[in-house]
Structure 1
Amino acid sequence: MDEEGNITRRRALIAGGAVLAFGSGVAYIGSRSGASGQHYVPDTTHAGSGTTGFDVDLDGRPIAGERDAPIDIYYWTDYLCPFCKQFETETLPELGREHLDTGDARLAVLPYPNIGEYSTPAAVWGRCVWSQVADSDPDAFWNWHAAAFAEQPESGTDWADDEMFAAVTEQTAGVDLSAVETCREERGATIRERIEPNVAMAQESRIQGTPGFVLYNRDSGAAGKLVGAHPYENFADAIDQVRRA
């Protein structure tokens, strides 16, 4: 099924051709009046396993939502990305309440380092924090995740360094800085290597920057994408279209 040119199967999405994007395609939003300012902590968080039908490697990655949710949302992000911060603060809380916490969809956080020199080290910090708390206190990851985005200044990328990320880690309850540092030292190279295949999948889906999203119906194989910091309404419409396809 192809609804208004927005829904396709994985092969067609990867191959290119028609513009397969929801809403207005690429969207960058400013702050909306009435935004709560509260970051999102999922009701349910789990570690992914295996490779999906869309060929995205979810093994060990943080996923917000129920394991059996019918719609996957693959969220490529960079802690240095200002539009990712907008998505996190303006859209994700409502998306989480309305669709992730209700079992409609699940959201996988996937690094796509592309903003600055520290983008890849920041991704390693995120993965090591998740590895340290995934079993014992997954909410701590989301608190750290939000705190890392909150450190972004109005502009520029030179704010991001080891000292800043160490401070965020040390200040986040439930996260052991020494364990995260050990992970960075011992597993950093492996984590970097595992970033590349999922970044390649995003690029094959014609996502060239962050934030980028693919919505994938695991039962039907229908898929579509959103690029940019779309408002909640565009995600709600996209989820509905993919679910019905």
Structure 2
Amino acid sequence: MSTPTRNIPNKRVLLIVGIALAALLVGWLSQYAATSGGDSEDDGAAATVEEDTNDDQDGGSSQLAALERRDADDPLAMGDEDAPVVLIEYADFACPFCGKFARDTEQELIEKYVDEGVLRIEWRNFPVFGKDSERAALAAWAAGQQGRFWQFHEAAYADEDMVKKGYDKARLTELAEEAGVKNMDRFHRDRRGEQGRKALERDRQEAYQLGATSTPSFLVGGEPIAGAQPLSVFEDAVESAADAAKDAGDDGSGAGK
């Protein structure tokens, strides 16, 4: 299957995106703060951005969709690179709400949309809880270099007490072994290497440019969603984005993926 060529946005593009969408993202994060209250263990924290049909927000969605990498060789992504909809997840392995999303919602999305070729999920490491978060992010990246990122992801989030256990070397080794990483020497070398650090910083700076300050944060077809929202929120977002991509393709605009 032939796929469109996509380039990873450079810093200038990200800066333009940040400026162009400042009002939209401030509104998003303000709504997040207003609705979360810091004590919603059931919902994660926050609400989706309300739909707005004005031209500025439509343009903003297109700019955000440009952050989709659609790299067939990305080990931190799953699903067809030319799927109609891309979900970008900015998350932290030490974040309990990220774990809640992984356990309660993500698998449902995989079975319903990724496996059917409708959705692609692209992970971005966004460690916000300090050195422990960074160690886990780098270890997950290192597991990905041996094709075991998603297995590491599943192992790390399987335990609801992950935050209490932390991510020291012994814990990371245990998770890598559980994920099926074969070459442990390479795993530890990669997680300490400069390449992994650069990849982490690229992801983190992308999140900061968007104005994200907490995890998990998402873009679904270029539309932001904040927090570990119920499955229905993501289903609505995916189906809306899929319909929009289909309409764009039917119009002959070339915007459909």
Instruction: Give deviations 1:71-102, integer Å, cap 9, x for gaps.
Output: 11111111111000000001011111111111
Q: Distance in 1 between matches of 2:241 and 2:141?
A: 29
Structure 1's 83 and 172: CA in aligned 2 closer, same or farther, altered over 3 A?
same
Displacement, 1:154?
A: 7.0
Q: Distance in 2 between matches of 1:113 and 1:14?
A: 25
| Partner SS, residue 146 of structure 2 | helix
Greater relative contact order, per chain length (Cα 8 Å cut-off, separation 6+): 1
Partner of residue 237, structure 1: 236
1:210 corresponds to 2:215: yes
Among 194, 199, 205, the alignment partner of 1:194 is 199
Structure 1's 171 and 236: CA in aligned 2 closer, same or farther, altered over 3 A?
closer
Contact 2:89–2:218 (CA<8 Å) still a contact in 1? yes
Contact 2:76–2:150 (CA<8 Å) still a contact in 1? no
Mapping of residues 1-245 of structure 1, within 5 Å: 11=17, 15-18=21-24, 30=42, 54-55=66-67, 60-133=74-147, 140-153=148-161, 156=164, 159-185=166-192, 188-216=193-221, 223-245=222-244
Instruction: Report which stretch shifted further, 173-182 or 64-73.
Output: 173-182
Instruction: Give deviations 1:203-225, integer Å, cap 9, x for gaps.
Output: 23232111111123xxxxxx211
Instruction: Give deviations 1:101-127, integer Å, cap 9, x for gaps.
Output: 111110011100101321112111111
Question: When the two structures are aligned, how many residues end up with a matched partner?
Answer: 199
Contact 2:103–2:157 (CA<8 Å) still a contact in 1? no
Partner of residue 39, structure 1: none
Q: Distance in 2 between matches of 1:127 and 1:196?
A: 12
| Structure with the bigger percentage of strand | 1
Displacement, 1:171?
A: 3.3
One-letter code of the match for 2:205?
Answer: A
Q: Please tell me the root mean square deviation across aligned C-alpha atoms, in Å.
A: 2.9
Q: Distance in 1 between matches of 2:159 and 2:20?
A: 35
Structure 1's 64 and 159: CA in aligned 2 closer, same or farther, altered over 3 A?
same
Instruction: Give deviations 1:139-187, integer Å, cap 9, x for gaps.
Output: x43222111123452755x6221111111212333533222123234xx
| Structure with the bigger percentage of helix | 2
Displacement, 1:17?
A: 1.7
Structure 1's 171 and 179: CA in aligned 2 closer, same or farther, altered over 3 A?
same
Q: Distance in 2 between matches of 1:71 and 1:29?
A: 28
| Partner SS, residue 152 of structure 2 | helix
Based on CA coordinates, which of the two structures has the bigger radius of gyration? 2
Instruction: Quote the sequence identity (%).
Output: 23
Structure 1's 129 and 58: CA in aligned 2 closer, same or farther, altered over 3 A?
farther
Contact 1:14–1:205 (CA<8 Å) still a contact in 2? no
Q: Distance in 1 between matches of 2:124 and 2:114?
A: 16
One-letter code of the match for 2:178?
Answer: Q
